[in-house]
Copies of this chain bind each other. A is one copy, B any other.
């Protein structure tokens, strides 16, 4: 942000909020890189001036608080300083020692926190800091702090990836016409948007029918972005060995299948370096809790679901979705024989509709992007 922007914000924010905003901005630098850890930034302030800062770059690397403390050359400066951190400093020995201890040992006298840690294993930092006589303020820009870590919160509280519904549709909600043809509904610009989504989330997921019909690569084809993990829901292991998806990064592919599917094919795929993940099934579908757990185990924190119809239907009816990006092309066809984005049974009562909030819309080229959170 420019200095002038800071100046403007200064008039509506108090100092604590201003420095917290800076901590959140630092945290964002590691977006999609810290999984399964949260995004955390820290700023150390003394006499109104920032004297140190840092953010958590990747699981296994130092936490933000330690990065910030280490960034201060003259350790005497830390005495009576304030540290701003968007998430409660951890209090456990995980891959790194507890940050609460590092703060206490540093001489810092005040800790301003965005939100409490919701991870029970790591929490308790606030109490330890207070116990050591440190002044602690909690809940500064709490909403922004929670939004920043929406993926981590979902992973921790609900033991599931942050699932994102993404679909390219006709105006009547159809994602493919007769025979399953879906390429291309939306424009080049909208497809670039979709690729950026792939490049900024842990994984992209499709159902086996999408593989069979469209034979997609599912890679991110924009330079400078990370390749997402690629997940295919394939209960009966119908995926053709010749599918294009196998042509690149096979060890990035996760085929979710039932325990009963063809063992010989599992061996072949494993020999191709593809990950085979067995998942519990019930009533002919994957058990949603087990699917979520298996994805988390594979460090899939956020997962874009790209369809098709029945796959979106599965995630919708099981209330697995957190967010939606729906792209509408300015086109329409008849719906009879087409594939609707929501391939599952309609209710009789409109009150049973799944609701979205915090919605937005904008144009991307000629297409319309609808964005919203599932309630």
Interface positions, chain A 21-76, Cβ under 8 Å from B, are none
Asked whether, in the complex, the Cβ of A337 is within 8 Å of the Cβ of B345, the reply is yes
Q: Which residues of B contact A185 (CB under 8 A)?
A: 350
Minimum distance in angstroms from A303 CB to a CB of chain B: 19
Minimum distance in angstroms from A351 CB to a CB of chain B: 10
Q: Counting CB contacts under 8 A, is A343 at the interface?
A: yes
Q: Which residues of B contact A334 (CB under 8 A)?
A: 313, 316-317, 342-347
Q: Counting CB contacts under 8 A, is A354 at the interface?
A: yes
Q: Which residues of B contact A343 (CB under 8 A)?
A: 334-336
Question: Which of A344, A346, A347 has the most chain B CB atoms closer than 10 A to its own CB?
Answer: A346
Number of identical protomers:
2
Asked whether, in the complex, the Cβ of B333 is within 8 Å of the Cβ of A177, the reply is no
Q: Counting CB contacts under 8 A, is A240 at the interface?
A: no
Interface positions, chain A 297-332, Cβ under 8 Å from B, are 309, 313, 316-317, 324, 326, 328-332
Q: Counting CB contacts under 8 A, is A353 at the interface?
A: yes
Interface positions, chain A 255-273, Cβ under 8 Å from B, are none
Q: Which residues of B contact A313 (CB under 8 A)?
A: 334
Minimum distance in angstroms from A109 CB to a CB of chain B: 46
Asked whether, in the complex, the Cβ of B177 is within 8 Å of the Cβ of A174, the reply is no
Minimum distance in angstroms from A30 CB to a CB of chain B: 31
CA distance A154 to B199 in the complex (A): 47
Q: Counting CB contacts under 8 A, is A103 at the interface?
A: no
Q: Which residues of B contact A333 (CB under 8 A)?
A: 342, 346-347, 350, 352-354
**A to B CB contacts below 8 Å, 25 in the list:** A169-B173, A171-B326, A172-B342, A173-B173, A173-B340, A177-B346, A177-B347, A177-B350, A177-B353, A178-B345, A178-B346, A178-B347, A179-B348, A316-B334, A328-B370, A330-B355, A330-B357, A332-B353, A333-B346, A334-B342, A334-B346, A336-B343, A337-B346, A359-B366, A361-B368
Given contacts A172-B173, A182-B350, 14 further A-B contacts (CB under 8 A): A171-B370, A172-B342, A173-B340, A177-B350, A184-B350, A313-B334, A316-B332, A335-B343, A336-B343, A336-B344, A338-B346, A359-B368, A361-B363, A368-B370
